[in-house]
Structure 1
Amino acid sequence: MLRAYHRENDQLSLIPPRDGLEEAVWIDLYRPMPEQVQAVVDLGIDIPTLDDMVEIEISSRLYLDEDSLHMTAMLPGSTPDGEPVSGPVTFILGPSRLVTVRHHAPRPFDSFPDRAARSASGVQSVDRIFLGLIEEIIARLADLLESAGHVLDKTVSDVFRPQARQRPLLLQSALETIGRESEVISRVRLGLLSLERVLSFYSATQGKTADGNRLKPILKGHQRDVQALEEHADFLSTRVSLSVDAAMGMISLQQSDIVRVLSVVAALFLPPTLIASTYGMNFNGMPELDWQFGYEWALGLMAATFVGTYLLLRWKNWL
């Protein structure tokens, strides 16, 4: 998919597919077809492949190619099937237009065109569009962290409810929820780290632009936001560990209760079982074999030892 935007009344407007890309200030390539890639290449812009984008070596993700900045960040998004993933997004910032290349769907790329005019940087230049898009991405990462924090709070609250120990499925569901939120936090943390590198690289090179000095306060604000969110992500990671410990602790208590009940039941029936085993040996030399009241005696003895064991356990507060 190729979406191209141009400036119109200080806003970003979508260019119809039948029109050319010469007036575009932002070209967004999402899982592009070869002919779409070729249309952008014809503008003199080199489009990286997915293999180039996922290259781990940092020099291949952040570099200056003639008069264009190539910056790749790992951002959370979703696949066409709706599965959450973390994938590479390449920002190609040239003198006259911004090109973004991605093979998954982070939400800011869909929401930014309608909000671009309300961003702190505006849309008056390509650099401002880039910083506005970064602002939208940071806001989305902040929303993901805040949502994860709310889910963890509710999950931990459910774990510590009195009825949680009597509901194994609730504790299992709590562990599954904590695991999912942990994955979200990890993807956001990776996105923040890569964004921090992108902003640092842009900061080192943005003096080449005429609008660079006026954009420095906005850039520094974005960098401070990223650092604050990184601290928030670290805090939530700690919350995840504590939440897992809490859920596992409740599961251990539940298992201890089950083992205690089984142990008490075994203890109650142990003396009667011993008596029944003794009188069930049937040796020729046993004097009770011909006793008229032997059966009643054995039953009474088993009942007495059962009651005596029960009273002993109650006296010890083991029941």
Structure 2
Amino acid sequence: MIFAYRPTETGLERLPPEGDPTGHLSAALWIDLLSPQPAQVAAVEALGISVPTLADMQEIEVSNRLYRDGDTEVLTIVLPGLDRNKEPSFGPVAFLITPERLFTVRYHTPRPFETFAAHAAQSSAGYAGRRRVFLSLIEEIIARIADLMEGVGVALDQQSHIAFRDPEPRGDELADALRALGKQSEQVAKYRHALLTVERALSSFGLGLVEDKDKGLTTILKAQVKDCQALTVHGDFLSGRIAQLTDVVLGLINLEQSDTSRILSVVAVLFLPPTLVASVYGMNFPFIPGLEHPHGYLIASALMFGSALGTYLLSKWKNWL
């Protein structure tokens, strides 16, 4: 799909599709490609750029993510979003900055790409030119990652309430909390990775501002880099909280298992003395003291019951039960 936007007095306006794709796109300041088909790629490349494939965007080498292709600056970052099935996804997004306009290529749906056009007029960089549109879109992306990390903080507060509440949580609640903490740890790691790629892209973008006469862009760029660094520190804080809560939950699970093992051990000990008495009188010898006593059964039963009761009282006195 191709989404084309042009600047107006109130913000960025999405252009309706037209019969001539090339002539239609030439009037746009920002062209957004979502999982483009070959015909759509050809229409965009007719404007003089080379659209990277998903394989190109997934390359790990920095030279394949941050480079210049003639007059086009290509910056690739990794962002959280939704896939075609509306499931959480994490994938690359390429920004192609030409002398005339901004192109974006993506194969999933980060939320900022759906909300930015309506917020362009309120952004600090504005939308007067492709570089300002790029910085405004990055500002929306950073704000979205900050919201996602704040959501992780709220989820950690809930897990903390479960771990430290009175009465103590049940075993199934602790297992659910442990799985939730593992999921949140993975999310924080992905958000920190996204911030790292955004910061690297901003640093590369800043090299192209040396000859730009708009000095305000440098100030905005530095502020966004500081935002990325501050959110990275916040991600470290969240990772520390997750590690602490994971240790607490694992400790509670171990205590619960220890209590269960202790109870089973004491119950087993309760039956040891009666088992000893029964074993003695179950020996296959023809002559056993008291074997022919008229009250032998009652005496043996009393010994077994008394030994079990004594063991139980000792366990209660020692706080083993």
Q: TM-score surpassing 0.5?
A: yes
CA contact (8 A) 1:10 1:124 kept: no
TM-score, length-scaled by structure 1: 0.96
Counterpart of 2:314 (choices 304, 312, 315) is 312
Gaps of at least 5 residues in structure 1 are none
TM normalised by structure 2 equals 0.96
Residue aligned with 2:17, SS: coil
Moved more, 275-284 or 35-44: 275-284
In the alignment, which of 100, 103, 111 is matched to residue 99 of structure 1?
103
Contact 1:156 1:246 survives alignment (8 Å): no
**1:263 to partner: Cα distance:** 1.2
1:76 aligns with 2:80: yes
How far residue 137 of structure 1 moved from its aligned partner, in angstroms, is 0.1
Q: Give the corresponding residue for 1:3.
A: 3
Alignment partners' CA distance in 2, 1:282 and 1:308: 28
- The yes-or-no answer on 1:188 pairing with 2:222 is no
Give the counterpart of 1:151 among 145, 150, 155.
155
State how far apart, in whole Å, the 1-side matches of 2:319 and 2:59 are.
64
Deviation string 1:184-224 (CA, Å, 9 cap, x unpaired) is 1111000000001000000111223342x121111111011
1:257 to 245, 256, 259: 259
Displacement of 1:160 after TM fit? 1.6
Q: Counterpart of 2:187 in structure 1: which amino acid?
A: V
Say whether the 8 Å CA contact 1:138–1:226 is kept in structure 2. yes
Give the residue type in structure 2 aligned to 1:239.
Answer: R
Equivalent position SS for 2:190: helix
- Alignment CA distance shift 1:34-1:164 (3 Å): farther
For 1:80, what is the secondary structure of its paired residue?
coil
**2:167 counterpart SS class:** helix
1:246-289 deviation digits (Å, cap 9, x = unpaired): 11000001001101111111111111111112212232122333
SS at match of 1:163: coil
Cα distance, 1:10 vs. partner? Answer: 4.0
Cα separation, 2, equivalents of 1:61 and 1:168: 46
CA distance in 1, matches of 2:36, 2:111: 17
Matching residue within 268, 287, 290 for 2:289: 287
Q: Which residue in the other structure is 2:44 paired with?
A: 40
1:127 aligns with 2:131: yes
Query: Structure 1 residues 43-52 or 305-314, which shifts more?
Result: 305-314
Contact 1:68 1:94 in 2 (8 A): yes
- Equivalent residue of 1:63, what SS? strand
Say whether the 8 Å CA contact 1:282–1:289 is kept in structure 2.
Answer: no
1:46-67 superposed Cα distances (whole Å, 9 cap, x missing partner): 1001111011110111111221
The aligned counterpart of 2:62 is 58
Residues matched between the structures, number: 317
SS of alignment partner, residue 134 of structure 1 = helix
CA contact (8 A) 1:80 1:104 kept: yes
In the other structure, the counterpart of 1:13 is: 13
The letter of the residue matching 1:100 is T
* SS of residue in 2 equivalent to 1:121: coil
* Distance in 2 separating the partners of 1:93 and 1:234: 32
Equivalent residue of 2:25, what SS?
Answer: coil
CA distance in 1, matches of 2:289, 2:309: 27
Residue of structure 2 equivalent to 1:116? 120
SS at match of 1:141: helix
Gaps of 5+ in 2: none
Equivalence for 1:241? 243
- Determine whether 1:207 maps to 2:214: no
Note the alpha carbon deviations across 1:289-316, whole angstroms, 9 max, x for none: 3221111111111111111112212222
What is the CA deviation profile of residues 96-127 of structure 1, one whole-angstrom value per residue up to 9, with x for unaligned ones?
11100011111111111111111011111111
Give the match for residue 219 of structure 2: 217
**Structure 1 residue 83 displacement after superposition:** 2.5
> How much does 1:227 deviate?
0.5
Q: State the alpha-carbon separation in 2 of the partners of residues 128 and 164 from structure 1.
A: 54
